Amino acid sequence: MDYTGLTEEEIEAIAARDSLILSTEREIKAALFRIVRNLVLGAGILRKISKSELSAAQGLFATSIFSILSGNAAKASAAAMKPAVKPLINIVGGDAIIKKSFQARQIQVVEKTFQFERYGRKLSDRIWNSADMDAIKKILNDGVGKDAKLVAKQLETYIKDGAATLTKKYPEMMKRMGGRIPGNMAYESLRLARTELSTVYHDSVIEAARNNPAVIGVRWRLANTHPERDVCDDYAHHDEGLGIGVFPVDAVPDVPHPNCLCYQVAVTRRMIDREEILKVDAA
């Protein structure tokens, strides 16, 4: 990432967002494994898993996803607003009041962006009904009559490391199961979860900017992960006289595509001054 011109707080905020995105993926996988393992363990020898056991597990998974996403989205929103809070406290004082009003805004943004109840369920259903889940069911079926601990290990390998590692570790089982097994767990669905966190961050930066009188706009900064030119490049080079990539607070574009890791930074008057000074120096 190119962090030129950013304050320490802004760099921290972006790093926090990115690590929340990564941990969301890890936590979703871990929750799936925990729930599937509970189906398997208990008996020394695995017996057939019934449909009703599976659907109960699906319900549990939906609840887990809901809490993972709501927890991490709240953290992403707090991280996004943090750089805005400190300068405001410096200007107007009243530490507790300002912090409280920003906390209320974080809750609003998260609720609005995520529409939690619906989103959490939709995402969990997508993951649960993906091709990966068929693979998990195949592993469960293949394991009937075998040591439950072994089956739990196989499930863990598949969920955390993917099909290639599973084949390496358990070639016989893979041969028995035949057919194709998807390589990565619910890639599309996890991507959706990541995109939602980016959106919460984006909306939170804008919401904080809207409540900061020193802000003149929000700058769109390009993520390094853009292999090809797309609309994000246009946003990052947008110029309507506020500075390169800077939009008026109420005209910042939405996150334009899944997996967009571009980030947004509020531009305050002082930052613009500094840039203008640098420009003059360079001339």
185 burial level (CB within 10 Å; 0-12, 13-18, 19+): buried
Residue 197 in contact with Zn ion, rule: CB under 5 A: no
Helix (H) or strand (E) holding 199: helix 187-210
Q: How far is the CB of 228 from Zn ion (least distance, A)?
A: 11
The C-alpha angle with vertex 7 and arms to 196 and 22, in degrees rounded to 5, equals 30
Taking the least distance from each CB to Zn ion, the nearer of 173 and 232 is 232
Taking the least distance from each CB to Zn ion, the nearer of 36 and 262 is 262
Taking the least distance from each CB to Zn ion, the nearer of 232 and 267 is 232
Q: How far is the CB of 231 from Zn ion (least distance, A)?
A: 8
Residue 265 in contact with Zn ion, rule: CB under 5 A: no
Taking the least distance from each CB to Zn ion, the nearer of 151 and 232 is 232
Cα–Cα distance for residue pair 277/220, rounded to 1 Å = 21
Residue 262 in contact with Zn ion, rule: CB under 5 A: yes
Q: How far is the CB of 232 from Zn ion (least distance, A)?
A: 3
Residue 232 in contact with Zn ion, rule: CB under 5 A: yes
Cα–Cα distance for residue pair 178/187, rounded to 1 Å = 22
CB 79, CB 206: distance < 8 Å = no
Taking the least distance from each CB to Zn ion, the nearer of 127 and 232 is 232
Stretch of 42-50, 184-192, 200-208, 228-236 lying at the interface with Zn ion (CB under 5 A)? 228-236
Which of 98, 163, 209, 260 is in the footprint of Zn ion by CB under 5 A? 260
DSSP one-letter code for 160: H
Q: How far is the CB of 234 from Zn ion (least distance, A)?
A: 10
Stretch of 84-92, 131-139, 172-180, 262-270 lying at the interface with Zn ion (CB under 5 A)? 262-270
Q: How far is the CB of 260 from Zn ion (least distance, A)?
A: 4
Total residues contacting Zn ion by CB under 5 A comes to 3
Strand partners, 147: 45
Q: Which ranges constitute the DSSP H helices of 93-161?
A: 95-114, 116-128, 131-142, 148-161
Output b/e per residue, 5-43; b: 16+ Cβ within 10 A.
Answer: ebeeebeebbebbbebbebbbebbbbbbbebbbebbeee
Q: How far is the CB of 83 from Zn ion (least distance, A)?
A: 20
Residue 76 in contact with Zn ion, rule: CB under 5 A: no
Listed residue (198, 224, 247) closest to 17, CA to CA: 198
Contact residues: Zn ion, CB under 5 A: 232, 260, 262
